[in-house]
Amino acid sequence: MKKNLIALAVAAAVLVPGAAFAATSDTSSKVFLPENSQDTGPILYGFAQITGSQQFGTNGAEGLVFGAHRIRLGVKGTAVPGVTYNFQYKWDGAWMSGGSLNGASGVFSGVNGESGVQDAEINFGFIPEVQLKVGKFRVPVGMERTQFGGDDLWFIQRSMNQSLGADRSAGAMFHSPDVMNTGIYYSLGIFDNHSFDGNNAFTDFGGPYPGNVAVPFGGPAGAPFNGANGQARVGGVLTNGTGRYLFAGMVGYKLNPLLNVELSGARADTLQAGPTFANQIDAWNVGARGGMMGLKYMAEYSHVTSYKGIGGLRGNDWYVALAANLHQMTLTPDWLDIEPAVRFERFDWRGSVGSGVPGAVNGAYLNNTTIGVNYAFNPSDPYAARVQLNYVIPSGNAGAFRANPSFTPANGYIYNTLALQFQAGF
């Protein structure tokens, strides 16, 4: 009885505020509440995705893997007029058939669950054209990365160009979503070059050459990793850094709904830990998207000069994607909100002497063709409950990446894969 009462109290502590706060069905963590909103928050939001997938043609054991892909829970609102906040926690890869993913990388390289603070941001929007965002949030590089959350992607996985940009970091950024109602928007910020999430160009390489990019803390003697060198501390907290940062910027133009074009880029200093490493990393991206009456398109090209700080290891990626929402095209009734989608993508490495790239991978390219269909249970709130089905067909030099899996880009498929995902959000 006592356990039941405790469980009931915990459920009430979570669900009652959720029912009170969730006055909207907006599950996007990227959108702050407008100044004229009648609901200033706090709003509790989140989503969960359960995914099953199976690969074919591996010449080994093949079976269904079923588990939690993304689980997110956040709160956002307006503190005072002009000041908004957003905090989000994540449990990604929290569980799969066979047990928890925590620590699984010790057996299967690259397989692990992640949990922690996803976003912790405060936005000062007193001047709409010159707003200031501080905290941990998305680095403004890449259209798909910055304009889409995990709950409104066209496909189950993002494109491979995630490997050539940045994810989230701690920093400060000036930005505006629409400069003087012209459709022009921009972002310009400075970020710490250590606290990056995910597998991207600015995190340490998980292969044979780790340790050149991220600098966790500094010291007065310039020894970035030596915690015994007497760093200045206030209340036990380090107060000096290393002088190595990431600078990122983005500029774009929106002509809704037909066209949205965007150019973004970033540069970061590295640790310079050896002769095979680069002194800096430069990444840039150009993208376009738009559509009308249910027809949608999106395309991007990404380039990085030194992948994860490895000297001479350059990467390129491009993709084109098309989708057609049959309900928005008035071809299906309300209860049949179906959206077919297709994406073709090519990723390639370009190495040089000293880059450490195996000869089989140097110059190799990986193609992924993704054929998918999305079904939303409620067309007026499509991301509150939906199902996604994807089939991915790799081609090109997929065999080279199978032989050197540590060089496979993030979200790259090297075997035919069928994936099915169920989503619920609030």
Lowest model confidence (mean pLDDT) among 98-112, 190-204, 359-373: 98-112
pLDDT in tens, 259-288: 999 999 999 988 777 777 888 899 999 999
Q: Is the pLDDT of residue 185 over 90?
A: yes
Q: Is the pLDDT of residue 355 over 90?
A: no
How confident is the model over 57-82, as a mean pLDDT? 89
Cα 369 to Cα 114, 119, 366, 393: the distances in Å are 27, 31, 10, 5
pLDDT in tens, 138-171: 999 999 999 999 999 999 999 999 889 999 999 9
Q: Is the pLDDT of residue 327 over 90?
A: yes
Q: Is the pLDDT of residue 112 over 70?
A: no
How confident is the model over 322-349, as a mean pLDDT? 96
* Cα angle 137-143-144, degrees, rounded to a multiple of 5: 85
Residue-averaged pLDDT of the chain: 82
Q: Is the pLDDT of residue 373 over 80?
A: yes
How confident is the model over 202-218, as a mean pLDDT? 68
Q: Is the pLDDT of residue 27 over 50?
A: no
Q: Is the pLDDT of residue 29 over 70?
A: no
What's the rounded Cα separation, in Å, for the pair 148 and 28? 8
- The confidence score (pLDDT) of residue 353 equals 60
pTM, two decimals, is: 0.84
